[in-house]
Chain A
């Protein structure tokens, strides 16, 4: 890269403070981005990465007011002295929420939105819309409404919308949030293709680093607590420990190699799994590490708490969406239900909670059929936690929210108070018991929703996409909290497409694909089965890729070893 070139975007001792906050959110940002670069800005929640993105696209200071100090320029001019419309000619933003940013009633209308606002004549718009859509391979969906599209397709439409404006910088705000692994992979590939073909500057804000790094990136900017803590090439950043130190998840294969005691330096090119795998030193270190601890035996199988027997379901006279699912969940077991969007995960959880009734087959709880049970009766045994806690919380005060189910059951007030306080202690929310819910963070709200389900002492809790909306640090905390519940005998079913989560926090995994369970067994063996992963359109973890390319151990052995090592490490650090 030619460092002598004029930067397209430049921050110099830049700080920003929202009008509503007492402290600045961004401190002393110094960053130069050059034309044609592809930059990843990574950081945990609250690190200021989204605020920085808003400074780049003009939402700050035009939609969100605040105090700016220091200098920043976009193509040589200060953005704050322009208008948001002028900035949007240079910076095209693809927002995180694929659904809400889709404004049009149809695909073509949405792409045309910017043209319309620019007063382009209708007959001139049509060919330009078609051209933009063919760039993202969405031309055949021209007349479809957003409700007929998947998250990944909606994202591509949004990309077409900003591409059509011929901007210089493409800014992606958490493009992988809400996408399943296959769509995420597709999205990163598309971004790379566009970057290569158009030569535009690309800025990606993400905390799922491993997925972004599957495609080449020029530089990574790591943010923490409103400051830039590191800038470097992927090789430089991956060789250092800056990611873990700042609550970010480095690629799993990098963690494995570090555990194995490999000396990672930029010269061994850790960003490329292939080059790394051919390195003799790396292979030897990894081989020795895997042999150190033998794999202890699996937990013995407990009696099934919940059993699905050949459950089938179809909406009305329509096609079957659940095609004969059989599944067992033991008491205190943590099970991952994996599958792509549209595989039938939501329907299956609705079958468990009783929102819909199976057309045939049976569901047993402790050996008793619950087919005829009402939603409410099931709710006392099977709790359901939604993805977004804001969708579940209906009361203003934490205490009331947690006690809601008991109040409805008509439990005496004294008993409710005792129970609520006990549950709040378990969930680490006791000190907040008299607070309003609105004062809590997203992660704390998620705990409140768990607490409000725990009060009825369910045997099984279904958690829908537990990692959604949480960064690595917060989700690690949340998941260890849930695991402690499992140790107390509560069974957990995680509905997810997050491979890392399944790998680290579940003993067993079942893969749902087109309404059928195509594999179930120990998580390590299911997730390393390439054929199953491909069939279900899921993504192999980088750990199994590492084992395959280095050939030092079977993927399953390496994965098991890795999980065990991390568990030991965690225990050690907890003792200290």
Chain B
């Protein structure tokens, strides 16, 4: 996280300039397309396209690697779990059975392995675009642009406020836990059993919630005093109207989505098994 506690990474690329709402629409279209198909070839194409876009956004690897690893690890666990629970599911889907290993309670089939590979690729094809969305979208500009899409501004602004005060919450948490530790409340590894430590962490919640409530009260007053909620609409300082690129991206997304749906309706894109 940056100093301000935002995930946003400042750069000047096509993706950074794109309107937040346009990026959200793009993410939605991408997701819909991914879930329409069950064909690894489609996913590989989308994955490579995504990686290309991610490269173009010039995000430093050190800043995005945590999220990327979380997605990959989640994916691996998901795959292992699926194999263990239903090692013959792929055969059910494909209608053929090629036994690889006999697990005792069930047989693991080649179809399943390929099915899992397809599934993993499906999630991986969503990864680059999600990372892009998270790291290139400025919270305020995003709030402004979803408001323009028709989301009420009070809801859109909540997003902004959350980003503003998360670092403060983090600071409070640190200072409270420091003072607790000085009083002998063990929080670190090796300072009591897991249950004890969890209990101690729960104890921090009390002052933390209390200070947060006090803060909410102050923030609400500050917003009232400066006219938040005065009118049915509000303008946004750091958002600009859609440019030509924004419109083009939206059109491209719509076209690709329409084509995908047509292709899928025609029957292409069910589970593809090459062997």
Contact assessment for B184 and A103 in the assembled complex, using a CB-CB cutoff below 8 Å: no
Contact assessment for B224 and A84 in the assembled complex, using a CB-CB cutoff below 8 Å: yes
Contact assessment for B178 and A350 in the assembled complex, using a CB-CB cutoff below 8 Å: yes
Contact assessment for B185 and A391 in the assembled complex, using a CB-CB cutoff below 8 Å: no
Residues of A within 8 A of B140 (CB): 104-105, 109
Q: Which of B5, B181, B233, B237 contacts A375 (CB 8 A)?
A: B181
| Chain B nearest CB, measured from A121 CB (Å) | 6
- Bound-state CA distance A116–B144 (Å) is 11
Residues of B within 8 A of A376 (CB): 181, 184, 186, 191
Write the chain B residue with the least CB distance to A171. B225
Residues of B within 8 A of A380 (CB): 184
| In the assembled complex, B161 has its CB within 8 A of some CB on chain A | yes
- Bound-state CA distance A382–B236 (Å) is 51
Residues of A within 8 A of B239 (CB): 122
Tell whether A353 pairs with B182 under 8 Å between CB atoms, given A100-B218, A394-B206: yes
| In the assembled complex, A125 has its CB within 8 A of some CB on chain B | yes
- Bound-state CA distance A408–B200 (Å) is 10
- Bound-state CA distance A101–B220 (Å) is 9
Residues of A within 8 A of B223 (CB): 103, 113
Contact assessment for B167 and A101 in the assembled complex, using a CB-CB cutoff below 8 Å: no
- Bound-state CA distance A108–B238 (Å) is 9
Write the chain A residue with the least CB distance to B176. A391
| In the assembled complex, B163 has its CB within 8 A of some CB on chain A | yes
| In the assembled complex, A63 has its CB within 8 A of some CB on chain B | yes
Contact assessment for B203 and A394 in the assembled complex, using a CB-CB cutoff below 8 Å: yes
Contact assessment for A378 and B221 in the assembled complex, using a CB-CB cutoff below 8 Å: no
| Chain A nearest CB, measured from B179 CB (Å) | 5
Write the chain B residue with the least CB distance to A123. B240
Contact assessment for B183 and A122 in the assembled complex, using a CB-CB cutoff below 8 Å: no
Contact assessment for B167 and A59 in the assembled complex, using a CB-CB cutoff below 8 Å: no
| Chain A nearest CB, measured from B42 CB (Å) | 38
Interface positions of A from 372 to 420, Cβ below 8 Å from B:
375-376, 378-380, 382-384, 386, 388, 390-395, 404-405, 408-409
Contact assessment for A109 and B238 in the assembled complex, using a CB-CB cutoff below 8 Å: yes
- Bound-state CA distance A115–B215 (Å) is 23
| Chain A nearest CB, measured from B246 CB (Å) | 16
- Bound-state CA distance A274–B225 (Å) is 40
Interface positions of B from 213 to 235, Cβ below 8 Å from A:
214-215, 218-231, 233-235
Query: What class of interface size applies to chain B in its complex with A?
Result: 35 or more
Write the chain A residue with the least CB distance to B8. A105
Q: Which of B184, B226, B228 contacts A161 (CB 8 A)?
A: B226
Q: B184, B204, B206 — which one has the most chain A CB atoms within 10 A of its CB?
A: B184
| In the assembled complex, A88 has its CB within 8 A of some CB on chain B | yes
Write the chain A residue with the least CB distance to B178. A355
Residues of B within 8 A of A382 (CB): 182
Residues of B within 8 A of A102 (CB): 164
- Bound-state CA distance A336–B215 (Å) is 30
- Bound-state CA distance A106–B6 (Å) is 11
Residues of A within 8 A of B161 (CB): 103
Contact assessment for A456 and B235 in the assembled complex, using a CB-CB cutoff below 8 Å: no
Q: Which of B164, B204, B215, B224 contacts A63 (CB 8 A)?
A: B224
Residues of B within 8 A of A354 (CB): 182
Q: Which of A119, A350, A408 contacts B233 (CB 8 A)?
A: A119
Write the chain B residue with the least CB distance to A96. B218
- Bound-state CA distance A122–B239 (Å) is 8
Residues of A within 8 A of B185 (CB): 404-405, 408
| In the assembled complex, B139 has its CB within 8 A of some CB on chain A | yes
- Bound-state CA distance A101–B163 (Å) is 15
- Bound-state CA distance A353–B227 (Å) is 45
| Chain A nearest CB, measured from B143 CB (Å) | 10
Write the chain B residue with the least CB distance to A97. B218
| Chain B nearest CB, measured from A326 CB (Å) | 23
Per-residue CB contact flags for chain B residues 162-181 toward chain A (1 = under 8 Å, else 0) read 01100110001001101111
Contact assessment for B175 and A391 in the assembled complex, using a CB-CB cutoff below 8 Å: yes
Contact assessment for B164 and A103 in the assembled complex, using a CB-CB cutoff below 8 Å: yes
Contact assessment for A117 and B231 in the assembled complex, using a CB-CB cutoff below 8 Å: yes
| In the assembled complex, B263 has its CB within 8 A of some CB on chain A | no
Tell whether A147 pairs with B184 under 8 Å between CB atoms, given A99-B168, A119-B234, A386-B175: no
Residues of B within 8 A of A99 (CB): 168
Residues of B within 8 A of A62 (CB): 224
| In the assembled complex, A114 has its CB within 8 A of some CB on chain B | yes
Q: Which of A57, A118, A392 contacts B225 (CB 8 A)?
A: A57
Residues of A within 8 A of B204 (CB): 394
Contact assessment for A105 and B236 in the assembled complex, using a CB-CB cutoff below 8 Å: no
Interface positions of A from 77 to 108, Cβ below 8 Å from B:
84-85, 88, 93, 95, 97, 99-106, 108
Contact assessment for A353 and B178 in the assembled complex, using a CB-CB cutoff below 8 Å: yes
Q: Which of B139, B168, B180 contacts A394 (CB 8 A)?
A: B180
Contact assessment for B236 and A116 in the assembled complex, using a CB-CB cutoff below 8 Å: yes
| In the assembled complex, A452 has its CB within 8 A of some CB on chain B | yes
| In the assembled complex, A440 has its CB within 8 A of some CB on chain B | no
| Chain A nearest CB, measured from B3 CB (Å) | 6
Contact assessment for A117 and B228 in the assembled complex, using a CB-CB cutoff below 8 Å: yes
Contact assessment for A390 and B214 in the assembled complex, using a CB-CB cutoff below 8 Å: yes
Contact assessment for B207 and A115 in the assembled complex, using a CB-CB cutoff below 8 Å: no
Contact assessment for A105 and B235 in the assembled complex, using a CB-CB cutoff below 8 Å: no
Contact assessment for B237 and A109 in the assembled complex, using a CB-CB cutoff below 8 Å: yes
- Bound-state CA distance A116–B163 (Å) is 18
| In the assembled complex, A112 has its CB within 8 A of some CB on chain B | yes
Q: Which of B4, B207, B224, B235 contacts A145 (CB 8 A)?
A: B4
Tell whether A95 pairs with B221 under 8 Å between CB atoms, given A353-B178, A388-B211: yes
- Bound-state CA distance A120–B1 (Å) is 32
Write the chain B residue with the least CB distance to A85. B230
| Chain A nearest CB, measured from B182 CB (Å) | 4
29 contacts between A and B (CB under 8 A): A57-B225, A59-B221, A85-B230, A88-B225, A97-B215, A101-B218, A103-B164, A105-B140, A105-B160, A113-B226, A116-B237, A117-B228, A117-B229, A117-B234, A119-B235, A122-B235, A122-B236, A145-B4, A145-B6, A147-B4, A148-B4, A353-B178, A375-B181, A391-B175, A394-B203, A394-B207, A408-B184, A453-B183, A456-B184
- A-B contacts besides A122-B240, A353-B182, A392-B179, 11 pairs, CB < 8 Å: A88-B225, A103-B222, A112-B237, A116-B236, A355-B178, A376-B191, A382-B182, A384-B179, A392-B180, A394-B204, A452-B183
Sorted nearest first, the 10 A-B pairs with minimum C-beta distance are: A112-B237, A145-B4, A117-B227, A101-B222, A100-B218, A394-B203, A379-B182, A85-B230, A114-B226, A384-B182
